[in-house]
Amino acid sequence: MTEFYDVAVIGGGPAGLSAALNLVRARRRVLLIDSNRPRNSATLLSHGYLTRDGISPLELRRLGRDEFLAYEGAEHRQTLATKVAEVDGGFEISCEFRGQQSSAVAGVVLVTTGLTETLPEIAQLRAFYGTFIHSCIECDGYDKRDQPLALIGEHPDLTERALLLSQWSDDLIVFTHGSDAVSPADEAMLSGRGIAVERRRVASIDGDRDGMRGIVLEDGSVVRRAGGFVRPEWSGALDYVAPTGADLDGDGLLVVDAHGRTSVPGLYAAGESTAPGPQQLIVAAGDGARVAAVINRDLIGGLEHLADAVQ
């Protein structure tokens, strides 16, 4: 028999865990469905989460799951949601894990499955990602402070990122990887701040187990760098909610109102599954808690005239 839950939270990152904890404390029967693939799994340490600065991503999740599961009404399934479809009284969620199918029905679904990132095609980049090369400047800038750094990317926000990164290092080279991500005017402005722009394509990252040594350009020359940042492309991976017909934005992320409600009544989203996408752990956790409170109030009902006032 398919189990019924008040709320199914799909995605057990900080947004989903925080929402699940707050919902179960609101005496809701909550199913947390998670494939356990943290976006930050490439890194060993997470930074900037109040009271947990420097914790490993997996440990942060374990603590969050344990806190949630200590409550009556909390249930966790490690599986992948493959389809969410509207049914009488809510939504049916179909899941699959190692060939094993399961399903659940919930009155409300909260989507917190984050986003996927695509790195530029550069040999060895993945090997250094999360240790010597990062994507979140606010998260990892401090640990790269005062080092000779590279910023690699092809996106138009590269100049803005270079300016941000200059807060942590004044030895910075921007690698556009053959793209025109930095305009000549922006290059002149960056140059005025001591930031160089290298427009040749990057072939690979030079280094070994002891660390990163530099950036290898297509002609074989190596630019010495101790570490750096990359600008991935970010997009939603939300095909599984397509049967609901919920509106997605141009990046494939769920469109939500100020309270995390999607265009489909009863379907909510929080964290990086919604615009603007990339955030930080504590921001995603805060968003999950915020939307959990909205869900609880919506489930109580009769508060429609107060909906905006209470959040």
Measured from each CB, the residue nearest to ligand FAD is: 13
How far apart CA 269 and CA 274 sit, in angstroms, is 7
Closer residue to ligand FAD (CB): 19 or 226: 19
Check: CB of residue 193 under 8 Å from CB of residue 111: no
Burial of 176-213, coded b for 16+ CB within 10 Å and e otherwise, reads bbeeebbeeebbeebeeeebebbeebbbbbbbeeeebb
Provide the angle, in degrees to the nearest 10, between the axes of the packed helices 14-25 and 281-300: 30
DSSP E strands, the chain = 3-10, 30-34, 74-78, 80-87, 90-97, 100-111, 115-118, 133-134, 149-152, 172-175, 196-198, 202-208, 211-217, 222-224, 227-230, 233-236, 267-269
CB of 80 to ligand FAD, least distance (A): 4
Closer residue to ligand FAD (CB): 202 or 281: 281
Closer residue to ligand FAD (CB): 166 or 279: 279
Closer residue to ligand FAD (CB): 14 or 153: 14
CB of 267 to ligand FAD, least distance (A): 14
Check: CB of residue 5 under 8 Å from CB of residue 30: yes
Closer residue to ligand FAD (CB): 22 or 112: 112
Beta-bridged to residue 100, according to DSSP, are 97
Closer residue to ligand FAD (CB): 65 or 225: 65
CB of 201 to ligand FAD, least distance (A): 23
CB of 83 to ligand FAD, least distance (A): 9
CB of 185 to ligand FAD, least distance (A): 31
Closer residue to ligand FAD (CB): 12 or 190: 12
Q: Which residues bind ligand FAD (CB under 6 A)?
A: 10-16, 33-40, 42-43, 46-49, 80-81, 112-114, 130, 135-136, 139, 240, 271-272, 279-282, 284
> How far, in Å, are 35, 61, 202, 303, 311 from residue 77 at the CA level?
8, 14, 42, 32, 30
CB of 49 to ligand FAD, least distance (A): 6
CB of 198 to ligand FAD, least distance (A): 23
Closer residue to ligand FAD (CB): 48 or 73: 48
Residue identified by tokens 């997009």 is 235
CB of 199 to ligand FAD, least distance (A): 26
In this structure, is the dihedral angle defined by the CA atoms of residues 221, 225, 226 and 229, taken in order, positive or negative? negative
Check: CB of residue 215 under 8 Å from CB of residue 202: yes
